[in-house]
Structure 1
Amino acid sequence: MDDEPRRFFGPSRDVAAPTDGPAPPRLGDPLSPTDAEALMAVVGPPELPEAWKQGFFFAGYQPYGLQQVNGGPCGVLAVIQAFVIRALHIRAPSPGALLEVDEHLRQEALLDALAEVLFRNVGDNKKAIVLLPSSSTACVLSGSQLRCLQPALFTSYDQLRHHLGQRPYRDIFLNPSGCGVPLYLFSMVWTRGIEGCRERDFDDPKSGAMIGGHGYCTQELVNLMMFGRAYSNVFDGTKRLGSAKDGWMVLQGAPRRPNIGFLSLFEAYQCIEVGSRYKGPTCPIWVVCAESHYTVLFSADAAVNPQESDKALNLFYFDQLARQSERIRLTVMPKQLPPHLSTGFEDSESMIDRCIRTKWKEASVDWNGSEVIL
């Protein structure tokens, strides 16, 4: 019985448009077994780990900070956390107000972030499709369970943003013990489209996926959330391998300067190249990939120029998995490498320091009394 689609609990196709807000979305038929299988194939594993079962919610550690319950979905949560900070840059009246944000403002910022990533990034500012379960408590982790999902089509940002704050959407995504994070993942892939991900985005259509080993997010998923394309690389633009005679293989990286930046320890290892677009986003906020875990660095001051890499600045570090009760402020001083270091990328150095130095060259990083995260 668990494999059978269940009756949809949300708004009916025939419900009249409310007079106090945008019209409800257009509802489609529940996913067929073929649709569910194709969707799960792009996601990657046949079933998401149980660690993915959580919603988007704040905890009592930092006022602006989302909570990650278990390891696995850190890529999704870190990107949404970064867009929450971006929304607070706009909504909060001062840097101090951002750091001490109240409940109402942070909830509004969370809804802003969810809407911006799904509609403006993944949906190319044209559409968003939310896959609705049969109930707000439905567990949706495997391909067979996807058959209970019903697509709701939104055709404007304001329409999506309004309804995310209403039932059933609010209950679906913001319930801490629900399946909001997996449902958001499935909705992103469905919005971009199976063919869009596999045939137009992935470097390798046969092996590309959103979730990799041990249930961790791939670069393709992070890129999809950041700029709406599930590309496999983080350099600027595209690169071609091969020759005209033998045929070209086109590798796709950041197509434009995104709102949120990206730094990676793999660049410190000289395994990849993070381009200037990702290092210099439009907002002074960066998602940080330190091996398999994603966290966030940000300036509380929206006026900081994120393309600048030669001036000292203060950045706040937040790890949504770390139960981080202490606010961690880092002072970054470029071109002042401590004398005991030769490159700044020594194994003895903090992974976060090494990520920082991929942008702020030879920087001294002062943790201002906080325990250094190695």
Structure 2
Amino acid sequence: MDDDEPRRFFGPSRDLGSTIGGGDGAQPPPRLGDPLSAADAEALMSIVGQPELPESWKQGFFFAGYQSYGLQQVSGGPCGVIAAVQAFLLRALLQRAPSAAAVLEVDEKLRHEALLDALAEVLFRNAGDGKKAVVLVPSSSAAVPLSLSSIRCLQPALFTSYEQLRYHLNQRPYRDLLLNPSGCGIPLLLYSLVWTRGVESIRERDADDPKTCAMIGAHGYCTQELVNLMVIGKAYSNVFDGTKRLGSAKDGWCVLQGVPRRGNVGFLSLFEAFKCIESHYTVLFSPDAGVDPQDANRAIELYYFDQLARQSDQIRLTVLPRQLPSHLSTGFEDGESMIDRCIRTKWKDASVDWNGSDVIL
């Protein structure tokens, strides 16, 4: 059968005791639940935040060819999801690749394995707290589950170990559903993240305001809650460390939840510097696994990648901590690159050399 020919998928086996044949580390299939009820579908989309996902969200996870390690974003909207997966993908490459050069010029096989690592990490170890993952799969591979009325075709497939999930992400139907460029991999990951964490857990335990918590906000963009769910496993609204209390003991405290621990990938934002936040998410990384991000005494080589920019050239930045250029007083002046300013929230008073690339303002 031709690989491009549509296939129908009627769900994995309900029998956790059965196995898929082969001596290649095969894992038992997940347990498949009943399709979403009308109430389930409504609860899911209430947390998603929109009755129908924007058309810009209809894409899967795939490599563009602009940079060998880089995922492609087709149009504006799901940048937070793609950037978070990209960051964990690069982290996986640093663990798998034999050298920095192998990260920057990664081959097809290695980047595919790293992408599966990234998807498994955000689902099982983050949203699932290292205990479980639920992948919501459509009853047909031809389904387009973007709206409240169409997601009732989704069935929860429960994975109870990281190895089980990681193995099946490379098998049909999961591989085709998530990695088909023109498919619905991003919506399916979004739904699966919410279902894994739990609608009630997000609403009652994570959200500052249960009535307004959403994964997709204005103009179809990712919210901070969704990015935090992927990066730290909790759909918190804030990026400061720990928790903050507003109000008083007399009038009652309002507790705002921030980042509870250092994540496996970092997050830089202008929010704390300007009390506002940009709506586009991109990635900065070092291909050298030996770099200590807390070392403020030597030059640090970073690469910048924007999955939406059709970025044909590698952009290498040299960061010199504590060497603010003489013409700047704070490093956050108007006219300074947003990327430079984000970098200075991590490395105080840094100078940033774009090494001949055009500065992205």
TM-score category of the 2 structures, normalised to the smaller one: over 0.9
Higher mean C-alpha displacement, 39-48 vs 240-249: 240-249
1:268 deviates by 3.0
Describe the shift of the 1:267–1:243 C-alpha distance in structure 2 as closer, same or farther (beyond 3 A).
closer
Matched with 2:3 is none
Corresponding residue for residue 119 of structure 2: 114
Task: Calculate the TM-score normalised by the size of structure 2.
Answer: 0.94
Contact 2:141 2:177 in 1 (8 A): yes
CA contact (8 A) 1:138 1:178 kept: no
- Point out 4+ residue stretches in structure 1 off by more than 6 angstroms: none
- For residue 14 of structure 1, report the CA deviation from its aligned partner: 5.0
- State how many pairs are aligned: 350
Cα offsets for 1:311-331 (capped at 9, x unmatched): 320000000000000000000
Q: Of residues 240, 262, 271 in structure 1, which corresponds to 2:267?
A: 262
Q: Give the aligned partner of residue 308 of structure 1.
A: 295
Alignment of 1:182-261 (within 5 A): 182-261=187-266
With structure 1 as the length reference, what TM-score do the two structures score?
0.91
CA distance in 1 between partners of 2:272 and 2:247 (Å):
24
User: Relative to structure 1, is the Cα distance of residues 267 and 311 closer, same or farther in structure 2, using a 3 angstrom cutoff?
Assistant: farther
Contact 1:17 1:23 in 2 (8 A): yes
Cα deviation digits, residues 149-196 of structure 1 (max 9, x gap): 000000000000000000000000000000000000000000000100
Q: Does 1:75 align with 2:80?
A: yes
Counterpart for residue 286 of structure 1 = none
> Is the Cα–Cα contact under 8 Å of residues 12 and 31 in structure 2 kept in the other structure?
no
Amino acid of the residue matched to residue 307 of structure 2?
Answer: Q
* Equivalent residues of 2:9, 2:173 under 8 A apart: no
- Counterpart for residue 43 of structure 1: 48
Q: Which amino acid letter does the alignment assign opposite residue 279 of structure 2?
A: S
Mapping of 1:223-372 within 5 angstroms? 223-269=228-274, 271=275, 291-372=278-359
CA RMSD of aligned residues (A): 1.3
Distance in 2 between residues matched to 1:353 and 1:268, nearest whole Å: 13
**CA deviation map 1:191-237 (0-9, x unaligned):** 00010000000000011111110011111111100111001111111
Moved more, 156-165 or 137-146: 137-146
1:31 aligns with 2:47: no
5+ residue gaps, structure 1, are 1-6, 273-289
Residue number in structure 1 paired with 2:10:
9
Alignment of 1:152-167 (within 5 A): 152-167=157-172
Instruction: Report the Cα distance in structure 1 between the residues aligned to 2:215 and 2:296, rounded to whole angstroms.
Output: 31
Alpha-carbon separation, structure 2, partners of 1:250 and 1:17: 47
Structure 1 CA distance, aligned partners of 2:68 and 2:350?
Answer: 29
Identity %: 76
CA positional deviation for 1:18? 1.8
Unaligned runs of 5+ in 2: 1-7
